[in-house]
Amino acid sequence: MSGVSPCAPIGVFDSGFGGLTVAREIAKALPQESIVYVGDSARCPYGPRDLAEVDGFVQQIGAWLVERGVKLIVIACNTATAAGLAHAQRTFPVPVIGVVEPGARAAAHATQNRRVGVVATKATVESDAYTRAIRHLDAGITVFSTATPRFVEIAEQGIRMAEGPIENYTSLASKVYIRPAFEEIAREYLEPLRRCDIDTLVLGCTHFPLLKALIGGVVGRGVTLISSAREAALDVAEILARRDALAPSDNGPCYEFFTTGEDVSEFASFGSRVFRAPIDTVARVELA
């Protein structure tokens, strides 16, 4: 890759904390790589916003990451991927990947009865991004999509309510406190999909892997849950390898975290639980 060092960081961004599930998978798959993460908490959530507006956010954050010298950008948000991936790929001088296509590919490979469910934000569902991506790979698959806007709120509330010492980072992300009321909401959202006889369910929002136990408990063991976070990390590894742009194995990785929100300490403590590792420093960035 001309002009960009293999030791340059990978840029990852999301509307808030959810994309840290993607950053975590990248850190796990590529432990030698540095990461610059931006959580656009000031404008979160993206889900209810107009796609053209979200596309503008993608351009803004992407330009900021390019200025910081990243070698690849991951749009770790399904809504932002649906709204702005193609535009970003045309605009920026580094590879840009989203989370929809990797998740769609995994779902198309996993399904046996060719009936796939998708749970996502309203904007992602309305964009039809997953249906198009899955049916592009196998036109015989029937896709059932449903908007589950309250899942983001449940994931964040559940982490805040989780008990246990903050030092115990190895199990933090699984410690999402599930109230009985959360299970009722999940049942209401997921029961119609269950009745559609799906055998695969795409968690079409990067917050949703945090609710894997809740969602899996409702849809049952016969349904394979697809998290696009892990699939996106595999894509990052493949693209960098193909471009001979992987950091050397002796590279000491550096993780930097930024938020557009006011409360950096809240981002650090909450983010540590999602990233499953201590986030010591978070800097505030103004993009508007």
For the chain, how are helix, strand and coil distributed in percent, rounded to 5? 50, 15, 35
Bridge pairing between strands 10-14 and 35-39: parallel
Tell me 283's DSSP state: E
Active site residue 7: no
User: Choosing from 44, 77, 196, 254, which is the catalytic residue?
Assistant: 77
Rounded Cα distance between 275 and 192, Å, is 32
Largest CA distance in the chain: 54
Under DSSP, the state recorded for 68 is T
Calpha distance 134→105 (Å, rounded): 7
For 47, 58, 83, 97, 158, the CA distances from 86, given in Å and listed in that order, are 18, 11, 8, 9, 34
Active site residue 77: yes
Tell me the one-letter amino acid at 108. Answer: A
Name the catalytic one among 7, 44, 196, 205.
Answer: 205
User: What residues are annotated to the active site?
Assistant: 77, 205
